[in-house]
A and B are shown apart, each in its own frame.
Chain A
Amino acid sequence: MIYLTLFWEYFKIGLFTIGGGYAMLPLVTQIVTKHGWMTEQQLIEFIGVAESTPGPFAINLATFVGNTVGLSTSLGVFGGILGSLVATVAVVLPSLIIIMIVTGLFGKFQSNKYVKGALKGIRPVVVGLILSAVFTVAAKVVLPDFSFKNIFAGGVSRFNWISLIIMAAFFPLAQIKIKGKKIHPILLILLSAAVGIVIFGTLGAQQ
């Protein structure tokens, strides 16, 4: 039964990838090609879509893979929805269980000497990971061909200076307080979408 296979494969992906959604990519590629659910090309095309549609990247991907698998069955549209549901639940389920246990234990052992010590080391590591994400995300926007993992490969010829200006303009916007309140990040995102439509759509600036 294809849904069981889908569930089991995505359950394993959810269980064995640490480091967030992008770390799942190699495993997802492996399973969809192994079972012949999708070609690698189809998957690569959808990665761009999953990044630009709302929602966490990995969940978008799981929903899409599940949908494609489900549509191939005799159930049609209903099969697609069922497939999405199966893949999404399967990828979320392992961490749901693990996190509940860990968060519960964390509350209990928070004041333990060793847990406290370990946290002292892990907290700065996590903040370091966020800082590295800052650079990766910024490079993706401003220098789309550049990779920090391969800095000598160049990839600096495409430089999106307009995006850089938008970033520079939004940074102070994200800091200022109006009547003691910061502008809500969701409002900033909506505003940036409007700015994008005007600058890149209406005025036709190079993306």
Chain B
Amino acid sequence: MKHNATKTNTDQGRQVSLWQLFVTFFKTGLFTFGGGYAMISILEEELVAKKHWITSRDMLDMLVIAESTPGVIAVNTATSVGFRMRGILGAIVATLGVVLPSFVIISALSYVINAFADNTWYKAAFTGVQACVTVLVVNAFIKMFRQLESGWFSALMLTAAFNVALFTDFNVIFLILIGGASGILYSLVADSVSRRKGRKLPLENSDIIDGERSDDGENRQSGGDE
């Protein structure tokens, strides 16, 4: 697992122009189909691999915010990234960018939209796109999975959330809340256990990992091809 772009994001954020933010999210909005998960792949390519604006880990944390707050996930992700890059104006510009394609296309086609979507050729093209979108969601999963800490706790939470979300109608917000509470509990227990054994605290361990990451800043180029 390679880590790239470890410079602090606020430093890089100043170089991002509002126009760049707008264009990036306009493109993302234009090629998002259905729910927002396929857009993770596009954002990964645009924000992490190509432009190094954020890391894959940041991407996961912004998804966490997008999932835990009300609203459309694709839009929430745009707002969160935009705010992170350029503050309030950035949030507004990124949100505008991701929403505008829908707005223009649906408004412009409002009279003919049903005929348009029923068109044989469009349907054929869209059936192809659906298959591709599935692959992109798989890729998004792989990418985000790699950002998780290894260990039984992550595996357990992932498996539980997966099964509940797939097979039941249990509200997502409760999954998030249970996840958060379990995480705090786990960290507290793990802390006290390791303190008793006189070992390093898990929380401090993750700090060390962060430290290692910032050390390999010079590997940024080689890691950037991911």
Q: Which A33-81 residues sit within 8 Å CB-CB of chain B?
A: 45-46, 48-60, 63-64, 67-68, 71, 80-81
Q: Is the interface of B mostly helix, strand, loop or mixed?
A: helix
Report the nearest B residue to A202, measured CB to CB.
B124
Contact yes or no, A188 B157, CB < 8 A: no
Q: Are B168 and A80 in contact (CB under 8 A)?
A: no
Give, as a whole number of angstroms, the nearest-CB distance from B3 to chain A. Answer: 16
User: A59 vs B99: C-alpha distance in the bound complex, in angstroms?
Assistant: 7
- Contact, CB under 8 Å: B65 / A99: yes
- Do B125 and A197 touch (CB < 8 A)? yes
A121 within 8 A of B: yes
Give the residues from 63 to 88 in chain B that come closer than 8 angstroms, CB to CB, to chain A.
63-76, 79-80, 83-84, 88
Residue pair A196, B127 in contact (C-beta under 8 Å): yes
Report whether B33 and A51 are in contact in the complex, using a CB–CB cutoff of 8 Å: yes
B121 and chain A: residue at smallest CB distance: A201
| Chain B residues whose CB sits within 8 angstroms of the CB of A127 once the complex forms | 60, 141, 144-145, 148, 158, 161
Smallest CB–CB gap between A120 and chain B, Å?
4
Contact A54 B225 (CB under 8 A): no
Is B208 at the interface (CB under 8 A from chain A)? no
CB of A96 within 8 Å of the partner chain: yes
Verify if A192 is at the interface (C-beta below 8 Å from B): yes
A2 contacts chain B at the CB level, 8 A cutoff: no
Q: How far is the CA of A81 from the CA of B110 in the complex (A)?
A: 10
Asked if residues A130 and B125 are in contact (CB atoms below 8 Å), the reply is no
Q: Are B166 and A19 in contact (CB under 8 A)?
A: no
Chain A hits for B31, CB < 8 A? 54, 185-186, 189
Task: Report chain B residues within 8 Å CB of A54.
Answer: 29-33, 101-102, 105
B19: which A residues are within 8 A, CB to CB? none
Category for how many chain B residues contact A: 35 or more
Q: Output the least CB separation between A117 and chain B (Å).
A: 3
Per-residue B-contact encoding for A135-150, CB less than 8 Å = 1, 0 else: 1111011000000110
B176 contacts partner chain A, Cβ-Cβ < 8 Å: yes
Contact check, A185 vs B45: say whether CB atoms are below 8 A apart. yes
Task: Provide the residues of chain A in CB contact with B65, threshold 8 Å.
Answer: 99, 102-103, 106
Quick check: A149 and B129 within 8 Å, CB to CB? no
Tell me whether A92 is interfacial, beta carbon within 8 Å.
yes
B193 within 8 A of A: no
Chain B residues within an 8 Å CB radius of A156: none
Q: Within the complex, which residue of A91, A106, A197 is in contact with B71, where a contact is CB–CB below 8 Å?
A: A91
Q: Least Cβ distance of A3 to chain B in Å?
A: 15
Is B23 in the interface zone, CB < 8 Å from A? no
Shortest Cβ gap from B125 to chain A (Å): 4
| Given contact pairs A46-B114, A131-B145, A137-B134, a sample of 13 additional A-B residue pairs in the complex whose CB atoms are under 8 Å apart | A15-B70, A18-B70, A18-B171, A24-B72, A49-B114, A64-B113, A80-B110, A96-B92, A98-B71, A100-B88, A100-B91, A173-B135, A180-B225
23 A-B residue contacts at CB 8 Å?
A15-B70, A19-B172, A20-B72, A24-B72, A48-B117, A58-B75, A60-B102, A80-B110, A88-B99, A95-B70, A95-B72, A103-B83, A120-B149, A123-B60, A123-B154, A126-B179, A140-B130, A148-B167, A167-B135, A181-B225, A189-B31, A192-B128, A197-B124
Residues of B within 8 A of A (CB): 27, 29-42, 45, 49, 60-76, 79-80, 83-84, 88, 91-92, 95, 98-99, 101-103, 105-107, 109-110, 113-114, 116-117, 120-141, 144-145, 147-149, 153-163, 165-169, 171-173, 175-176, 178-188, 203, 206, 225
